[in-house]
Amino acid sequence: MKRAFKYRFYPTDAQAAELSRTFGCVRKVYNMALTARTEVWALRQERVNYNATSAMLTAWKKTEELAYLNEVSSVPLQQALRHLQTAFTNFFGKRSRYPRFKSKKKSRKSAEYTTSAFRFRDGYLTLAKMAEPLAIVWSRPLPEGAQPSTVTVSQDAAGRWFVSLLCEDRGVGQLPANGTAVGVDAGLNNLLTLSTGEKVTNPRHERKDRARLAKAQRELSRKAKGDGVNRAKARRKVARIHAHIADRRRDHLHKLSTRLVRENQTIVIEDLTVRNMLKNGKLARAISDAAWSEFRSMVEYKAAWYGREVIAVDRWFPSSKLCSRCGTVREKMPLNVRTWTCDNCGTAHDRDVNAAQNLKAAGLAVTACGAGVRPQRSTPGGQSAVKQETPGREPWDSPLQEG
């Protein structure tokens, strides 16, 4: 299985200048090819493929106006055209929207090199058009005997440089089956509540740096708009704080998702529509900080790596209002109720633990019935792998209830 290993590196002034030129040329070629393909479609309703744009690139390099494209490696430019081809393929396949132009200030700065444009020997990586290898901080070793097939160099908004090496990792394989299943209920007060009764506290990374971030943003807003040096410094300061928050959040989610995948054969989660939840003005910041979508993505791809199963239960399933012992559905459940007692069997429930246990039971029922592992999100009416008749259409177990 191929995996990408990302490392930070510190370029020399010459390397930084060369990479910055490459980023600019990649952006220029991508935008010009997008313009050409759009114009041809508008005029003749014809699709332009990668081979045609590659021929255009050759012609562009021969012009006096675009002769500077010859100063950088041609491989990242060709890869930009391949990425544009993939974007159009996804668009025509109705998997994404129409490709957008790359912006100098907003778009991600990156360049992709294939094997013909770099040399990797004895732990030293040298890119085309560069005399010296990159000073990479090897925070973790590559798989033994691994040889990168693709190298992607990028720079984030905080000015940090990263290199990502795509390698074959033979160490990734299916873990021994243990038959353990767990239900996972997402929330805000507690980031996750497991069916075992364990609660994972929400670190609230953004809240810890909120005052520092607000101060930096105020300083940025006072700088004159434009390309001034002082405004650029203030912008990088804000970006560094954002990057620090995102790094801590990502590290925590990686450790949490890896632990769940390693310890459990089946993981049952909710199929939450985070995009709609972000429309709640009072809780949008807390929901973004919780990063439920990122956590789900991590769990799903790691489960695929290690041979685990992920089941997503429909968000309309009344997991909070359903008694996990007798199956009675309570009519009303105010948002401030964190513990409740079933009127039918008298069992006392913790709201979140009860919801996680119900999710686990619903997920195991899906497995026993041989249904799909997750709801079909595009199905009209919100039908899912787990069907439960509910009074009305209210997201009973929405994590927003935790406030």
Instruction: Give, for all 403 residues of the chain, the pLDDT tens digit.
Output: 889 999 999 999 999 999 999 999 999 999 999 999 999 999 988 889 999 999 999 999 999 999 999 999 999 999 999 999 999 999 999 999 999 999 998 899 999 999 999 999 988 999 999 999 999 999 999 988 889 999 999 999 999 999 999 999 888 888 998 889 999 999 998 999 999 999 999 999 999 999 999 999 999 999 998 888 999 999 999 999 999 999 999 999 999 999 999 999 999 999 988 989 999 888 899 999 999 999 999 999 999 999 999 999 988 888 888 888 888 888 787 767 888 788 788 888 888 898 899 999 988 887 776 554 444 333 333 333 443 333 333 333 445 544 3
Active site residues: 185, 270, 352
What lies within 8 Å, CB to CB, of 294 at 6+ separation is: 249, 250, 253
Minimal CA–CA distance to 153: which of 118, 121, 124, 123?
A: 118
CB 269 within 8 A of CB 192: no
Other beta carbons less than 10 A from residue 57's beta carbon: 19
Residue entry with tokens 């038959």: 179
pTM, two decimals, is: 0.83
Q: pLDDT value at position 373?
A: 40
Q: pLDDT value at position 113?
A: 97
* Tokens describing residue 345: 């069997």
> 250 exposed, middle or buried (CB, 10 Å; 0-12, 13-18, 19+)?
middle
Q: pLDDT value at position 7?
A: 97
* Tokens describing residue 302: 């790691």
Minimal CA–CA distance to 22: which of 111, 108, 104?
A: 111
Q: pLDDT value at position 28?
A: 97
CA quadruple 38, 44, 50, 55: dihedral positive or negative? negative
Other beta carbons less than 10 A from residue 319's beta carbon: 27
CB 190 within 8 A of CB 286: no
* Tokens describing residue 234: 């203030």
Q: pLDDT value at position 387?
A: 38
Q: pLDDT value at position 372?
A: 42
CB 253 within 8 A of CB 297: no
Q: pLDDT value at position 73?
A: 96
Q: pLDDT value at position 151?
A: 97
What lies within 8 Å, CB to CB, of 47 at 6+ separation is: 37, 40, 41, 88, 92
Minimal CA–CA distance to 268: which of 368, 359, 358?
A: 359
Minimal CA–CA distance to 76: which of 128, 123, 137?
A: 128
CB 342 within 8 A of CB 328: yes
* Tokens describing residue 257: 């998702």
Tell me the C-alpha distance between 336 and 216, whole Å: 36
Domains of the chain, residue spans:
2-168, 181-402
What lies within 8 Å, CB to CB, of 388 at 6+ separation is: 314, 316, 317, 318, 362
Which phi and psi (to 5°) does residue 105 adopt? -95, -30
Return the beta strands (E) in 38-115 as ranges: 109-114
